[in-house]
Structure 1
Amino acid sequence: MNDIVEGLLTAARLILRLDADLIEITLRSLHVTLTATLIASAIGLPLGAWLAVNRFRARRIVIALLNALMGLPPVVVGLIVYVLFSRAGPFGVLGLLFTPTAMIIAQVLIITPIIASIAHQAIRELWADYHDLMISLNASRRQRIASLLWDGRRPLITASLAGFGRAIGEVGAIMIVGGNIDHATRVLTTAIALETGKGDFGMALALGFILIGLSVAVNLALHALGRTERGSRW
């Protein structure tokens, strides 16, 4: 019990005094995850809209595959990225393994299917309302997708936030491709695992509280956007 109380007090002191290591790890986590979310959104949002608007023979198979990839184990993604960027891999010459770039690539692969799937569901509902209007205006596919992306921006922001929330808590793939190197690739989740193993519960708890705070902030944003979206339909 004393260890728990002491750990909580130490965590509070570290957060209140803005410990340098704590700030560095948090900023690196945000940099990696925000970058990955932006890239994944740039890929996933148009892909989801394109799947909602277009009809082709293998469409159902593509959608089913996209939904299946939402549950892809992160450690498998980490292993794939590791193999691709290791010295023996096809992209080993780039020297990206154990860098924040490799961590970003892994997170992009993990969250792009999530963002694309949520975007597809949102745009499909919107397309049902806009279909006749778009056809009557003789809008091109590019114009249809652009209009749907703009008018569906609230649920699409929700999709991106869901991807961010998934990525910020990722540890398996990040540990494999990043290596948890101090002052280089150490982020919130990998630092928590390390500090817990070392028995430094104060730092581990401080990092955990920050991670919980970020997760709560994302969920509150999702809730607020959801209420705004529901309110705009009445």
Structure 2
Amino acid sequence: MMEVLLRAGGLIVGWNDDLSEIVALSLQVTLSAVFISCLIGLPLGAVVGAFRFPGRRVAILMMNVLMGLPPVVVGLIVYMLLSASGPMGVLGLLYTPTAMIIAQTVLVTPIIAALSRQVVEDLHEEYAEQFASLGVGPAQRVMALLWDARFSLLTVVLAGFGRAVAEVGAVMIVGGNINHVTRVMTTAIALETSRGALELALALGLVLLLIALVVNLIVMTVRGTAVRAAYA
């Protein structure tokens, strides 16, 4: 085991083009999916959290249910949509990074929407009377709540990032794990482990952990700075 770990460390230190390509594609797919999910999920969660309307409980239930979507089911659904016989087959997106971004977006958006809904709902209880007295409109109310909760929502975005960057099943189905085309860290780890190439799989796993650590440190630093500024 120690020998494998040393060889994995050597692969990271010797960093080659294959590692760079896999890591770069992983970050491209994950960050793109998280960005799109935030554009959809944050406003959606804020609207459901801030307003009372018919069907709200159903909307909350659906968001909570969709948080637990099995990745392979999402991969299958996206595959059927993008396959040659599917409604979006003409676009030719199957087995491309775009297909992987779509699959990850479907997985991450409910998580961001559900978690942001809870954050915004708790915050709205503090500001509801003030909003009513000032006659703040719906759009301005949502924007104000999202802005005020921005540092708490960083944790929500981090949860979405963690879900996306660790995804295997869905991206394997719609991406195909094609070398130099759709191979990302998680699918490469699965492939190399099945081949018995544990040093490469372990090296990619360590890089994945390092990325997660860096993202967490950035979020903690931003939140800590915000807290200190608030009490300064």
TM-score, length of structure 1 as denominator length: 0.93
Residue 100 of structure 2 aligns with an amino acid whose one-letter code is: M
Q: 2:143 maps to which residue?
A: 146
Equivalent position of 1:190 in the other structure: 187
Q: Is the 8 A contact 1:155 1:225 kept in 2?
A: no
The residue type paired with residue 159 of structure 1 is: V
| In 1: Cα distance, 2:155 partner to 2:201 partner | 30
Tell me the residue number matched to 1:27.
Answer: 24
In structure 2, the partner of 1:118 is 115
For 2:130, which of 125, 133, 141 is the aligned residue? 133
Pair 126,215 (structure 1): closer, same or farther in 2 beyond 3 Å: same
CA RMSD of aligned residues (A): 1.7
| Residue of structure 2 in register with 1:50 after alignment | 47
How far 1:229 sits from its partner (Å)? 7.2
Query: Which segments of 5 or more consecutive residues in structure 1 lack a partner in the other structure?
Result: none
Q: 2:210 aligns with which of 204, 207, 213?
A: 213
Q: Give the counterpart letter for 1:7 in structure 2.
A: V
| Alignment of 1:77 onto 2:105 | no
Q: Which runs of 4+ in 1 moved over 2 A?
A: 215-234
1:41 corresponds to 2:38: yes
Say whether the 8 Å CA contact 1:97–1:177 is kept in structure 2.
yes
Aligned amino acid, residue 105 of structure 2: V
**1:168 corresponds to which letter in structure 2?**
V
Number of the residue aligned with 1:107: 104
Q: Name the aligned partner's letter for residue 160 of structure 2.
A: G
Gaps of 5+ in 2: none
For 1:158 and 1:188, the matched residues in 2 are separated by: 23
Q: Deviations over 1:54-101 (max 9, x none)?
A: 211110111011011100101000000000000010100000000000
State the percentage of identical aligned residues. 53
Structure 1 residues 158 and 127: CA distance shift in structure 2, 3 A: same
Give the TM-score normalised by the residue count of structure 2: 0.94
How many pairs align? 231
Tell me which amino acid in the other structure corresponds to 2:78.
V
Q: CA deviation at 1:217?
A: 2.9
2:175 aligned to 178, 188, 191, which one? 178
How far apart in 2 are the matches of 1:229 and 1:43? Answer: 25
